[in-house]
Chain A
């Protein structure tokens, strides 16, 4: 018997279907598994994953994303706020860069001063050994940075003094930072002196450090390193007349931001002009600032 085959030749699934048969079959077949079977299978499925019914799961799913987004936003805002506050503090709450504490003026020679004496030419030793001039040196406004000032003010009296590098830095240039690092290294090598601001009598009967710090009032407890840096800066920038009519501070100000090569050129120039003494002082300062920089044969 020849069979008219509608599916012959293959084709998409629709061509293998008979809509009338499908309609009739769907009308005829309505059997369903019993409810107890449904319950048993669904319970087994839940037991397998150890989860709760969908109501709870869907609730958690629905709120998981909004809660996560809200948490991220809150954390971000908090972080940004904190960062803004931290960044604003040194500018908005820093005390004026001038007006060092009164106790700063009569600073006795400190270990740094001794070091400076060792480094500086003999002509300048007398000036450095003298107590610095009480006249405060106003630092240039744009260069003033007092990152640790707020910490000093807000710290408890018993808190340890901050590191010298974080105290007042009137010359925040790279050369100055290098010099301060060198100074710190030198101080570590030398026997540790007492803080310069502490009176001698107090030092002799000094209790352990925390108690001593408690005794000193917070403003007067400015670290000796900060005072030393300020006194040193004052010494360098004081308009002491130097040999040949030149002023060392003017020269240093001029060379402060210059590269080492410029310093060497200037020293050579001074020598050529017959200002050997000034050239020697500048050279000494150059050696302090750039201890690792090679010197020309004529300057060694």
Chain B
């Protein structure tokens, strides 16, 4: 089986399963940034993120011989990452576990507190980006995860549900609240 730059993730993984290390290189370069940022924003520690990042890829490498296309590769990859993250939370008694277990559809009144309107209306894009990242960091873990899976993994609601092991409605609710909070937080700068 051969592959090229246009090959799908699943084809690349199948090639790697069949012994083509070059296919893994291409696959890794496609997803390294998104997966790393997903882990970094979820655990908020670069060192831990690197450790988890390496664990996820090593799990993938070790499981290559048994790989079969049962879902989109990104769903598979981020599900591995999600599980590894949950393990990390449990190991370190992270409060996020409760956040993942509960339905966190709190009222939108509990949104992050309103920021002061910046003095300069022509705030540059960099400061807007910084503001957005701050808002993302303040999101509940489950909502933030849904948002990051959409942004970094390019996943749909159904794929987010598969990757995080929840129903489609739960995933949709988390994503909806996350987007609403971010829009509300950034709205004053629109």
Contacts and interface: CB of A to CB of B under 8 A. Distances in A.
Interface of A: 1, 3, 5-8, 10, 12-13, 16-18, 20-22, 24-29, 31-34, 37-38, 40-42, 44-46, 48-54, 57-58, 61
A53 B109 CA distance: 55
A45 B125 contact: no
Interface size, B (range) = 35 or more
Given A18-B183, A29-B133, A48-B64, A3 B32 contact: no
A16 to B, nearest CB: 6
Contacts of A53: 21-22
B24 interface: yes
B165 interface: no
Is chain A's binding surface mostly helix, strand, loop or mixed? helix
Contacts, number: 128
Given A37-B53, A45-B61, A7 B21 contact: no
Given A24-B129, A31-B40, A33-B32, A41 B20 contact: no
Contact of B62 (A38, A42, A48, A61): A48
Contact of B28 (A13, A28, A42): A42
> Which 6 pairs across A and B sit closest by C-beta, in order of nearness?
A54-B22, A28-B129, A13-B156, A33-B36, A51-B21, A45-B24
Contacts of A33: 32-33, 36, 50, 53
A21 B182 contact: yes
Interface stretch (B78-86, B90-98, B172-180): B172-180
A21 B36 contact: no
Contacts of B176: 5, 7-8, 16
Contacts of A18: 179, 182-183
Contacts of A48: 21, 61-62, 64
Contacts of B76: none
Given A1-B107, A37-B50, 18 more contacts: A5-B180, A6-B179, A7-B172, A7-B175, A8-B176, A16-B175, A25-B129, A25-B133, A25-B151, A27-B126, A32-B36, A33-B53, A44-B61, A45-B61, A48-B61, A49-B21, A51-B20, A51-B21
B172 A31 contact: no
B20 A57 contact: yes
B8 interface: no
B132 A21 contact: yes
Contacts of A16: 150, 156-157, 172, 175-176, 179
A97 B158 CA distance: 86
A91 B27 CA distance: 64
A116 B176 CA distance: 107
B165 to A, nearest CB: 19
Contacts of B64: 48-49
Contacts of B136: 25
8 contacts: A1-B107, A18-B179, A25-B129, A33-B50, A37-B50, A40-B54, A45-B16, A53-B21
B61 A51 contact: no
B57 interface: yes
A269 B58 CA distance: 97
B179 A32 contact: no
A27 B50 CA distance: 22
B173 to A, nearest CB: 9
B117 to A, nearest CB: 17
